[in-house]
A and B are shown apart, each in its own frame.
Chain A
């Protein structure tokens, strides 16, 4: 047993990231905070299973992910806040440039299936590699890539940045038509 660095002392540095990830899973701030608490307690208890020198945040995300799915299986009920707790809790900040668009983006994000949300949280938002994300989710690298890309495409659609598979839609003229008539298609 090595005792030079106690990873438990580093947990505090990952609390914000855990909350961000929990929010993307639960879409509900109360449920997210309960999930973070559960994760901290589990991590503390199982800290001897953490391999020093490996990525602590990835380890914590994996615990949190497992905790989330096992409690979801137990509860078997949808706790998601359909109106978007994430958007609501963040929109209280003073509005400035881009804020409105960001709220739209969060709402769009919350509509994605959970596999796509977590893939995008890992590789899009937190900067893990596809390999690391695949490891954390216990699936193949190709699966993570396809979930992340489907998620990105869906977000682009929801945000009116692109339209399905239509390759012509992104030229300037079509884009302005879409912008003028967002409900079209």
Chain B
């Protein structure tokens, strides 16, 4: 049925847009604060282990 085919193509378009939104955010640079946080946590871990 044409109608079903159209509906599924609209839904495919929606999912493609969703993936694109996600990719756009994902390719933005991760702020340094998170890398610094990970480094800090790792450092604390190391000093606790001593």
In the complex, which of the residues B6, B25, B35, B42 has the most CB atoms of chain A within 10 Å of its own CB atom? B25
Contacting B18 at CB < 8 Å: which of A11, A40, A120? A120
Mark each residue of chain B from 1 to 33: 1 if its CB lies under 8 Å from any CB of chain A, else 0: 011001100110111011111101111101101
Number of A-B contacts (CB under 8 A): 91
Contacting A156 at CB < 8 Å: which of B3, B10, B35, B42? B10
In the complex, which of the residues A121, A125, A155 has the most CB atoms of chain B within 10 Å of its own CB atom? A125
Contact B7 A37 (CB under 8 A): no
Q: Which residues of the other chain, B, contact A159 by a CB distance below 8 angstroms? A: 14
Contact B27 A162 (CB under 8 A): no
Mark each residue of chain A from 5 to 39: 1 if its CB lies under 8 Å from any CB of chain B, else 0: 00010011001110110010000000001001100
21 CB < 8 A contacts A-B: A8-B41, A8-B42, A12-B35, A16-B25, A19-B25, A19-B26, A19-B28, A33-B31, A37-B33, A90-B25, A102-B21, A124-B15, A125-B18, A125-B22, A152-B11, A156-B11, A159-B14, A167-B3, A170-B3, A170-B6, A170-B10
Q: What's the Cα separation between A48 and B21 when bound, in Å?
A: 33
Tally of A interface residues using CB under 8 Å: 38
Q: What's the Cα separation between A33 and B31 when bound, in Å?
A: 9
CB distance from B26 to the nearest CB of A (A): 4
Q: Which residues of the other chain, B, contact A40 by a CB distance below 8 angstroms? A: 34, 37-38, 41
**Closest A-B pairs by Cβ, 4 of them:** A125-B22, A20-B25, A124-B18, A170-B6
Query: What is the predominant secondary structure among interface residues of chain A facing chain B?
Result: helix
